[in-house]
Amino acid sequence: MDEIMVLAEHRGGELRDITFEMLTMANKLGKKNDLAVTALFLGNEASDLSERLKGACDAILLMEDSELANYSADQYIMAMETVIKTRNPTLTLIGHTAMGMDLAPAMATRLSLPLATDCLEINLAERRLDVLRQIYGGKINARLAMKPSDKYLITLRPGSFDAEAEQGKSADVQTVPAPSWTNLRGRQFLGYLEAELEDVDIAAADILVSIGRGIGKPENIPLAQEFADSIGATLSCSRPVADEEWLPKSRQVGTSGKTVRPKIYIALGISGAYQHQVGMKNADTIIAVNTDPKAPIFTIAHYGIVEDMFQVLSLLTEKFAKK
């Protein structure tokens, strides 16, 4: 069928932003290529939630079953296989999230679909698809042409598109039957584990001083803390700093940490890998200090300083601590 199908992602009764980001992208492509945009919603007792997609697509396919109440790879694969085989969408979009990373490669193998993951852009013209992906930790953008096919599967990087819930559409909800689960392999959803209570809530801070691997060793952290104190900021970090347990996990910014939106975000010795950027790129003002002028953080920083962070720290601390 001439359509782009978007797998809606939801958790705990909430739609995730990536769903609307994918729908925004799908609508752009659909308009250019005369393709309808369909949202596939897998869930249980979820008709109210699925209706929130109405303004952003041409049709909503709702499959409800107790097996689909929470994400589980085996159930989702079987459900999607049924729908894709019946409808033959030209393009299927899945979020490049923990769920999508688990699901998409298995789907591609099962249905022999060409797959490109973690895409930042998609262009479709005359059924030929090319995508933009990043390589070498975000230092190089690679545009790739996919082998011609009548069907493609793509995962889209979260945060690459605006999430527009209203796109002037008014979709009908169509119910689709769940498959029979006789061939389920045996994995079962048991429950979500809530993160432990945290020392500070970095998401509530107006100013964040964030340190990355460039801090070098835990003995240097007091230097960053002193600067943060001098300007009334909270200390946060990139993942390696949390992984080394130099700061608690609750201070980590990024896809597997917190999403923050402070007034000022000062990134010290952070390269700006996309997993980090996703968590902080919406800060009002981003200031980056890095010795590498090609560090990806400079692509989103409003102010950049190519310099040793310790030099900058001592100058700034001296200036602000005096006030």
Ligand X SMILES: Cc1cc2nc3c(=O)[nH]c(=O)nc-3n(C[C@H](O)[C@H](O)[C@H](O)COP(=O)(O)OP(=O)(O)OC[C@H]3O[C@@H](n4cnc5c(N)ncnc54)[C@H](O)[C@@H]3O)c2cc1C
- The binding site for ligand X (CB under 6 A) comprises 212-214, 238-240, 252-257, 269-271, 273, 275-276, 279, 289-292, 295, 308-310
Q: How far apart are CA 310 and CA 323, in angstroms?
A: 20
Residue 123 in contact with residue 33, Cβ under 8 Å? no
Taking the least distance from each CB to ligand X, the nearer of 38 and 155 is 155
DSSP string over 186-225: S-----PPPPPP-SS-GGG-SEEEEE-GGG-SGGGHHHHH
Q: How far apart are CA 267 and CA 254, in angstroms?
A: 13
In the complex, what is the shortest distance from the CB of residue 250 to ligand X, in angstroms, rounded to a whole number? 12
- Token look-up 């041409």 returns 58
Q: How far apart are CA 22 and CA 93, in angstroms?
A: 7
Residue 278 neighbours by CB distance under 10 Å = 19
Helix (H) or strand (E) holding 38: strand 36-43
Q: How far apart are CA 115 and CA 237, in angstroms?
A: 33
In the complex, what is the shortest distance from the CB of residue 133 to ligand X, in angstroms, rounded to a whole number? 15
- Nearest-CA neighbor of 316 among 218, 239, 228, 204? 228
In the complex, what is the shortest distance from the CB of residue 110 to ligand X, in angstroms, rounded to a whole number? 23
Locate all alpha helices (DSSP H) within the chain, ordered by sequence: 17-33, 47-51, 73-87, 98-111, 221-230, 239-243, 274-280, 309-321
- Token look-up 């999607």 returns 80
In the complex, what is the shortest distance from the CB of residue 310 to ligand X, in angstroms, rounded to a whole number? 6
Taking the least distance from each CB to ligand X, the nearer of 287 and 309 is 309
Taking the least distance from each CB to ligand X, the nearer of 53 and 266 is 266
Taking the least distance from each CB to ligand X, the nearer of 45 and 198 is 198
In the complex, what is the shortest distance from the CB of residue 277 to ligand X, in angstroms, rounded to a whole number? 9
The two three-digit tokens of residue 256, written as one number: 């597997």
In the complex, what is the shortest distance from the CB of residue 65 to ligand X, in angstroms, rounded to a whole number? 29
Name 271's Cβ contacts closer than 8 Å, sequence gap at least 6.
Answer: 137, 138, 212, 213, 238, 290, 292, 295, 296, 297
Taking the least distance from each CB to ligand X, the nearer of 42 and 267 is 267
When CB distances to ligand X are compared, the closest residue is: 254
Residue 25 in contact with residue 85, Cβ under 8 Å? no
Taking the least distance from each CB to ligand X, the nearer of 43 and 257 is 257
Taking the least distance from each CB to ligand X, the nearer of 7 and 253 is 253
Residue 116, classed as helix, strand or coil, is strand
Taking the least distance from each CB to ligand X, the nearer of 19 and 290 is 290
In the complex, what is the shortest distance from the CB of residue 269 to ligand X, in angstroms, rounded to a whole number? 4
In the complex, what is the shortest distance from the CB of residue 299 to ligand X, in angstroms, rounded to a whole number? 12
Taking the least distance from each CB to ligand X, the nearer of 130 and 292 is 292
